[in-house]
Structure 1
Amino acid sequence: MFVVDILLPHGYDIAYLYAVTVLVAAFSRRSKTVIRTAFGAVGLTFIAFALKKHPGTPGGTGMDVFSRVMASAVIALIAVVAIAVIQRELKNYELGKALHAAEGDRDLDRRMLAAASTISPIGTWSIEVDDDRMDLSDEAAIMHGTRPGDRPLRSEVLSHMDPADAQRLRDRVTRAWESGIPFREEVRINKPDGTHRWIVTMGEKTQFDDGSVARVHGTVQDITLWKEAELAASVLGNRFSQLAKSLPIIIWTADPQGHVDYFNDFLSRYTGLPDEELQNDGWVTTVDPRDIDGVLEQWSEVRAAGSNLDIEYRVRGADGIYRWHHVAAQPERNSSGEIVRWWGSTINVDATRRLREEAEALAAEREIILESMSEGVSAFDFDWRFVYVNASAERILEHTREELLGRTVWEQFPGLEGRDLRGTVAQTLESHTLERFSYRTLTGKWLEISISPSAVGATVFFRDVTEVRQLSEQLAQSQRLEAVGQLTGGIAHDFNNLLTVVLGGADALTADPTLTDDSREMAKLIGSAAERGAELTHRLLAFARRQPLEPQSVDLSERLKQLEPMLRRTLGEHIDIVVKTDGIAPAEVDPGQFENALLNLAINARDAMPDGGTLTIEVGTVTLDEPYVTAHADVAAGTYVAVTVSDSGTGIDPDHMGHLFDPFYTTKMTAQGSGLGLAMVWGFIKQSGGHITVYSELGYGTSFRMYLPPAVKVPVPPRPASVQISTGPLTGTILLAEDDDLVRVFATDRLRAKGYEVVAAASGPAALEALEAIERLDLLFTDVIMPGGMTGRQLADAVVARRPGTPVLYASGYTENVIIHNDRLDPGVKLLAKPYSTRQLVERVGDLLATIAADPS
């Protein structure tokens, strides 16, 4: 029943059937069972309501709430009645009292036995006048927690009761003894086993013929179940009362004639009227005058027919505003079918009704709007059959409505069957989410498509964005290149400042004679790492500025062996790397750009093998003949050094092959790649005078082959990076302007260590101020980019204006076109690129001063 209740939509419920379970529980003749079943039934009605997923009929939710509240009340009523039946024995006590009043001279034992004939077994007790011990029947002994057959002391029996109960019972026995007044008391027994029982004891005195008291005796009965039922009924009643008070709707009942005799607090709170004004059908005064006649007429018809009430009308709130409410009621009938009560609920549906009215108005305008839209709009059922097509959709799809309506999109456009579009739209309907994507038709037209799931299928919007897409791609490429250049320059500026200090510190440590061999080796490692960082920033700046390549003769076989450890670390342990070479393979390339190209291809291969695989790199000499170059117009015949990078990954879709080298084109997710990697590889190859090809099969892998021009001379090994720095003293006064504190301290310290007098400043204005105190200035050494409103070039112009002939040495990791234009240094500019080492700093300053000294002109 509970499962069926959940599956039924709102407005179609079986909440009243839960009351059957309470009736069944009543046959157990146990009050606890009835109480537990009643609580469970009420809980299940509201749990089922909360779990319902079907919206049901209009107004079904309100009717459902009303029905469940009414069902809960019925369940509570049945439970109370069942408990009353089970405890019917309690009525016999009232009968006993009546008999005692009418027949006071009858023997108490006979009255007690008469009452006991219809209720549970009772026990008897008696106390003799001259005996402090009590005579207890076996039943009474068990109830009092004593052993059957014993004659316990009165104090022992009373000790098993709560102290207050014991004192009260002692007083009542004494009074009966002295004045002959019978008594009845309910007391709680604390049995030795730790349990607690409630009993009712009744007693009176017995006299001898001479009028003296012979004994006090009576009966005792266990009423624990009755007490528990009484408590449970009270709790159940309180819970239902609190439920009615807490619901944000109006709950009400009416007598068979339709007069409202109960409503919860929400009616008073909503209308702002006191309860007394709402009694005796005062609710009618809250109904909108425009609706009152219809409401009363329908309420009269429903009462006459004995049917359910379902109506909407406006009710005045405490703020004086009339709002729409949904009112539902149904009758409660007795076993004869007669109406004994009406149960109803009133729910505020003003916002819902307004939305419905607005939706109807919008629907009336929809057709006009859809037909006037420049976008194509089509509606489909769940089988992707056309059910609506607007005029623009006819134009974009190049088919008339007559050709489309009633046919599936796959029937009308069979070319889409084998493409990924079907999977996309199917996933959209399954996930019930809005999907937007671009799609390229077989004719090359680009469509921007939005698919929105609906209750009957899906709505699809089309827009031809072929021209817009082309313009957007051009603009995005331009903006992206500019953004990358600015970002690269900003990073390189700060990073080069840090590397300058690291390089200088490593040089100083290496030259320190007090260092141990281990420490000196560590300093060399630091210097080597800083130099690699410097090389990286130079590559970034080369891309940002589009600087020309610096090709040289490089043995690619040897270079590949040097790069192999770095590739293994970069790609991870799940990628196996196989390197194949056929001896010396000298090529005329920029070594740094070649490493970048190789690394780009390796990383692409790794991404194509997320679960691991094999990366194979082959180097060898190949000859491209005339037939080959005839088919490939961008390459000349001749001998080349070929570097092939192959993976065993997922392969590349044929639709993507024609765009692999387009700038910003990527098949990866947005956060995984910029789309510049292969474009940079292609640019490097073309600028080097080479050629590149790609071959791929889905599910098997991809191979890129770079054809590079051979070297014209034998590769020359690079000269050692470490050169001994001169230790001789140098002279001269240098004005040093550097905004970075670390670089300024490092450069000042290194130059002073060589014997120069250095005046340092953190900005251009500060340097000009310091210039006033310098008698003889031999060199201005300034950073190019500085804060304070003055660049290094502006500072140099100001210093030369004041001290004509002063030589200037610039230092920068990124110049922002301050001293470089058209990818070249301005004439006469001397630049020390950051990061620089101590050796480079001292040599550059010394060379410049020496040159000026040798040729003062």
Structure 2
Amino acid sequence: MSYIPKVLIVDDEPRMCNSLKTLLNDHGYEAKTAYSGKEAIERLAEDSFDLALVDIVMPDMSGHEIMDHINSEYPATLVIVMTGHATLESAVKSLRRWAYDYLRKPFDFEQLLRRVKNALDQNILKKQHELLNGKLELTERQYRFLVNASPDIIYTLNPEGEFTFVNGAIESLLGYKGSELVGKHYTSIVFEDDIDKAKNHFNERRTGRRATHGLELRLKPKYNGNQPRSFEARHLAIELKSMGIYDRAVGQKDKEFYGTYGVARDITDRERLKAQLLQAQKMEAIGTLAGGIAHDFNNLLMGIEGRTSLMALDIDSDHPHAKHLKAIEDMVKKGATLTRQLLGFARRGKYEVKPTDLNDLVEKCSEMFGRTKKEIRIYKKYQEEIWMVEADQSQIEQVLLNLYVNAWQAMPDGGNLYIKTENVTLDETDIKPFRAGPGNYVKLSVTDTGVGMDEETQRRIFDPFFTTKEMHRGQDWDLLLFTALSRIMAA
């Protein structure tokens, strides 16, 4: 059913009101009448009107006062003024009160109908315009919400490569506020080594399939002074997708380039997972190699031990070669220990895991090390009523001794070694950096006052066979073995 416009007729002459009501009703309008200002205000409160025909001269209040009330309470209602006392002053007062039209009595009914139709058509256009604007504002708010809620950095550039818009993700990922970057060139956030790579891609002009897809770049985080904020790394790895913005559709000639639209996705976690996968594959390959070497080496040791035992059967304990045979057997045992470690690293060996008091184990290793390295002062802090742990004692002893030796080598002029044990309970958040489940653990901390490690060394300390020692001083196996031990025993 189509909408029927409503018209209120306000005039103190009943015959005029009724004539106009009949005329308007016959032409498809819904007309109501009011014979006074008070009655007009009541009608307006009872119903919603699209148009009011108001006489200027009324018995209780003037038509201008009625218009003031309409403008204040019902601004969507248009007003056409009707008066038999038309003056310039009256017309000016009416127009200042936003009267849509001004009619002088007597007027032709056809003239009135044209004016009413024009006013209502104008009102319909106004409402449609307001409706479209409302829909446009709603759509804009929705898209702005979606853009700002996106975890990806969404931006636009002008033709000179300067930011005209950046969404809120830039603050959580790089520390900048979007308003800080507006007006700045895109190279202000691109990592220096990648600026040449980003050229003609971050500020892409192409569209469609030729536009940039999947380009990996690094962006610079914001720094406060010379220090990065706590969440920042040296750079943020992103995958870029961008395209040019034009005033006409793709394929049309004489297009004007307006700028670039782009999306930068954080791929830090993906890159980290790729690095972890590569490291796992590397460790698996080295483990396979170590297992094969250990197996063959074990066979050689068994041959040496067997022949040494046969030789020992034929000589007495006071024979000059007896001590040398005993030394060979000791060396074979050390070789067998190394073989077990290699097999354990390759996950082919079997550890003797049993309940262990870590305080007792640490105390024994510390006393043994302290007797040989007098220049190192050892400070121990043990957890009372420490929990028992499932561990291979010999492997833990070796790891501890290797850590102690590393600490000694980092303190050539002497220093302090701090050892601490404590009971800890880890929840789901605590275990994220580790390959372990939530629960009760015993934490062992070893700290020294040595020279420390630079950033490059810290990144590689768990790499197989990595060492900072000179060639003749051996390899750093302790952290590698400790990592393998902890993962196997946790499993």
Please indicate, yes or no, whether the TM-score normalized by the shorter chain is above 0.5.
no
So what's the TM-score if we normalise by structure 1?
Answer: 0.23
So what's the TM-score if we normalise by structure 2?
Answer: 0.37
Higher Cα Rg, which structure: 1
Q: Which has the higher contact order (CA 8 A, sep 6+)?
A: 2
